[in-house]
């Protein structure tokens, strides 16, 4: 198939490269001329293991071309996949401005006389009812109610940063929302090489799936961290308690997020928890546990700061290993490490940060804005391998489990992923 991918961020760029790898011809679309130019040159503007190799291969084979002015090219496509951002509004709801604008652009460009419909697939996280209440009316206004020139699909993504390519080709599940909950031929064609359970639903069930998943992941992290704090206060080994708890895979379900350690963060969990809180309040569902998640997470961030700085004198040398949300990524959006670094600087400690995968000049978009809004002196606190190995620190804070690979000189090393 020929597939257009709108939005070349973390999700869209990975999807474009993987679809090309799977044999499809891909048209990448983004408003950023810089992203378009880099991608057309086979260069990834984000840090994701293996992604740049796939991009170079796709461009060399002629399977990937990107533009910021798709114009009539969309009518040569069988499918358009929308991967634009839905950032949080101040009230916690999703900002649907990008979704609405891209939908208008696609609807305006579609030839109403198409012989076969353009399958427009949305992968961005959106409130249940958005396809029916916002997106479908945009297409119907442009092309007419009952038009056969387009069909809408909601297909949430389940990609984890730093292992996104593996997750694309080996998803835990495939969820496809259609207007009647029945199968879609083009979606089946796109997913024919993937081995995963497939769930066809109506739009709303598919739209809600990502909220349920991400909120449960947030619940698991917050719950484990609250237990971890209690363990520390009661002189109990959180590591042993965790080991016992996750050994029960029959009742306790999954060990993946259920360990006391760092706070949750990143571009998905906080945003989707806020949005679900807003939805719950909007419909009067009174979800008190969900409403407490972000407060619990903020309390845990401060607890980690106090734990890491216990006994430190003002002006002490502190080294943080890792600043990005996850090892192998350069995504700083709502990274709890950013909050910890900010607290350390505000408290007057001499902070250095070691994250060799982080290149401030390569940050773009929301990632760039978030990083410099919270750490405007970011370039000045990043240090090299030589500085790390040649400096004695009062405390080293290991945020990603890589301290053991370095030759460190320190009075104390704190691994915030264990809390033991």
Q: Are 30 and 15 in contact (CB under 8 A)?
A: no
User: How many helices and strands, by DSSP H and E, does the chain display?
Assistant: 16, 14
Burial class, 250, CB count within 10 angstroms (exposed 0-12 / middle 13-18 / buried 19+): exposed
Residues 6+ apart with CB under 8 A from 172: 158, 196
What dihedral angle (degrees, nearest 10) is formed by the CA atoms of 13, 19, 20, 23?
Answer: 180
Q: Is 308 a catalytic residue?
A: no
The sheet with strand 150-154 has its strands ordered as 64-67, 25-29, 2-6, 79-82, 118-122, 150-154, 174-178, 198-202
Alpha helices (H) in 72-132, listed in sequence order: 97-109, 130
Which of 18, 83, 268, 308 does the annotation list as catalytic?
268
Q: How far is CA 249 from CA 55, 96, 228, 243, in A?
A: 39, 38, 20, 11
Catalytic residue ranges: 268
């Amino acid at each position: 198939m020929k597939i257009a991918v709108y939005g070349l961020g973390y999700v869209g760029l990975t999807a474009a490269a993987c679809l090309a790898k799977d044999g499809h011809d891909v048209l990448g679309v983004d408003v950023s001329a810089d992203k378009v130019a880099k991608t057309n040159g086979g260069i990834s503007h984000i840090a994701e293991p293996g992604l740049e190799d796939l991009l170079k291969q796709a461009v060399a084979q002629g399977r990937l071309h990107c533009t910021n002015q798709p114009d009539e090219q969309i009518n040569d496509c069988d499918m358009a996949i929308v991967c634009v951002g839905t950032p949080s509004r101040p009230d916690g709801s999703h900002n649907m401005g990008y979704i609405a604008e891209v939908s208008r652009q696609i609807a305006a460009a579609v030839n109403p006389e198409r012989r076969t419909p353009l399958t427009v697939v949305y992968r961005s996280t959106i409130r249940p009812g958005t396809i029916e209440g916002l997106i479908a009316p945009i297409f119907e206004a442009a092309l007419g109610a009952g038009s056969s020139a387009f069909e809408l699909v909601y297909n949430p993504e389940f990609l984890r940063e730093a292992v996104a390519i593996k997750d694309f080709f080996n998803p835990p599940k495939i969820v496809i929302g259609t207007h009647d909950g029945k199968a879609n031929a083009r979606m089946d064609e796109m997913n024919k090489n993937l081995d995963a359970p497939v769930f066809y639903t109506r739009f709303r069930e598919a739209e809600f799936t990502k909220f349920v998943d991400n909120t449960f992941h947030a619940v698991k992290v917050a719950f484990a961290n609250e237990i971890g704090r209690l363990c520390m206060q009661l002189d109990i080994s959180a590591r042993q308690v965790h080991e016992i708890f996750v050994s029960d895979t029959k009742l306790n379900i999954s060990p993946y997020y259920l360990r006391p350690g760092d706070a949750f963060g990143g571009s998905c969990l906080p945003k989707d928890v806020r949005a679900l809180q807003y939805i719950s309040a909007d419909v009067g569902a009174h979800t008190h546990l969900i409403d407490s998640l972000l407060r619990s997470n903020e309390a845990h961030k401060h607890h980690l700061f106090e734990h890491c700085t216990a006994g430190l004198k003002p002006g002490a040398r502190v080294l943080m290993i890792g600043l990005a949300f996850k090892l192998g990524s350069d995504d700083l959006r709502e990274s709890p490490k950013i909050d910890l670094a900010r607290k350390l600087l505000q408290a007057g400690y001499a902070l250095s940060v070691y994250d060799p995968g982080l290149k401030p000049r390569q940050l773009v978009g929301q990632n760039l804005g978030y990083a410099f809004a919270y750490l405007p002196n970011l370039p000045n606190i990043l240090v090299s391998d030589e500085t790390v190995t040649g400096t004695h620190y009062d405390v080293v804070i290991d945020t990603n489990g890589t301290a053991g690979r370095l030759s460190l000189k320190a009075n104390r090393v704190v691994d915030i992923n264990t809390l033991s």
